[in-house]
Amino acid sequence: MKNKKRTAAILKIRCKSGLAKDYEVFIFKGNKNFSAYLYDMAAQKILTSSSTSAKVFRDLIDKKSSVNVDAVYSFGKYCRELFDKKFKINSSNTYFNRSGFIFHGKVKAFNDGFFGV
């Protein structure tokens, strides 16, 4: 039942994605790690990715847990700087894909950190 609801949400999101946007940021949320990927809509490939398990990010936050809400908010800011350094992205040409996860808690914290809300 849970997988059916998430699959339906993913399909609904996928239909909305790519509406006059150049890039798509999609996430993966696990129990121990949180990952973000930058996807180029024109070339249809993943350009770069980052994870909370990366040593660079773990040294930045200096916390035991890298998956709580505050750490994911910082991870959103870190991803924004990383993706902006490699590729020129801004809020108007980037679409956030929540990958079927409910827009609450860590997903919302990442979005707020990434888009600077």
Separation CA 23–CA 17 (nearest Å): 10
Domain residue ranges in the chain: 2-115
pTM, entire model: 0.81
Number of neighbours of residue 72 by Cβ within 10 angstroms: 25
Q: Would you put residue 100 in left (φ > 0), alpha (ψ -120 to 50) or beta?
A: left
DSSP codes of every residue in 79-106 = HHHHHHHHS---GGGEEEE-TT--SSTH
Separation CA 21–CA 60 (nearest Å): 31
Series of mean pLDDT values for 10-residue runs along the chain (117 residues): 72 62 87 91 90 86 77 92 87 84 92 89
Sheet holding 34-40, edge to edge: 45-51, 34-40, 23-29, 94-97
Options 3.30.420.100, 3.40.50.300, 3.40.50.620, 3.90.1640.30; CATH of 2-115: 3.30.420.100
| Res 19: pLDDT | 59
| Res 54: pLDDT | 87
